[in-house]
Amino acid sequence: MKPIHILNGPNLNRLGKREPEIYGHTTLAEVETLCRQAAGAWPVVFHQSNAEHQLVDWIHDAIDDGAGIIINPAGLTFTSVPIMDALKMFSGPIIELHISNIHRREAVYHNSLMSKVATAVIAGLGPDGYRTAVEAMVRRLETASRP
Ligand code: DHK
């Protein structure tokens, strides 16, 4: 089974301390744990970086050996053509994920470049959105793999 790649962008390493009124008190390590629990037997690759080029490289890894991508590009969601272009190369399902409902926030957060490439978008469920995304991804992959 090829893994589900869960990729996280800038500042998400500060989850738990960063604007908890928006992002909650759950740490990124706790998010990773809930993702792995939700994935069950499905292998998970889980990364976070504050660097655009690193996220692009990890998307290339998924292109070469990934079943699905769940990505929270964080602030790069609205600016990164390189990440958008890399996602365009991925043939499997892509779930764009945001902890907050970006559409209820400041205008700078309203226009995602990634939504035009994503299979689905989850925004506003808080850190639990990661669990929802993994569960949805597993269902989709298991359905696709049935004869
Ligand atoms: C996280 C960020 O860091 C922001 O830049 C995004 C996203 C929202 C989130 O809700 O997970 O705009």
Phi/psi at 26 (5° precision): -75, 130
User: What mean pLDDT is predicted for residues 42-60?
Assistant: 98
Whole-structure pTM over 0.95, yes or no? Answer: yes
List the chain domain ranges. Answer: 4-145
What tokens were used for 104? 């209820």
Q: Is the CB of 102 under 6 A from ligand 1?
A: yes
Phi-psi category of residue 31: left, alpha or beta, with phi > 0 → left and psi -120 to 50 → alpha? alpha
d(CA 111, CA 123): 13
- Residue among 66, 68, 81 nearest 114 (CA): 81
- In the prediction, which pLDDT does 139 show? 97
Domain covering 4-145 in this structure, CATH number: 3.40.50.9100
Q: How far is the CA of 102 from the centre of ligand 1 (A)?
A: 7
**Average pLDDT, rounded, for the chain:** 97
pLDDT in tens, 126-145: 999 999 999 999 999 999 88
Angle between helices 128-144 and 28-39 (to 10 degrees): 30
Is 60 tagged catalytic? no
- Best mutation site among 13, 76, 98 for ligand 1 pocket (most ligand atoms within 8 Å of CB): 98
Annotated active-site residue in 25, 98, 103, 110 = 98
Q: Is the CB of 75 under 6 A from ligand 1?
A: yes
- In the prediction, which pLDDT does 144 show? 87
Residue with CA nearest ligand 1 atom 3: 74
| Secondary structure of residue 98 in the 3-state scheme | strand
pLDDT in tens, 67-79: 999 999 999 999 9
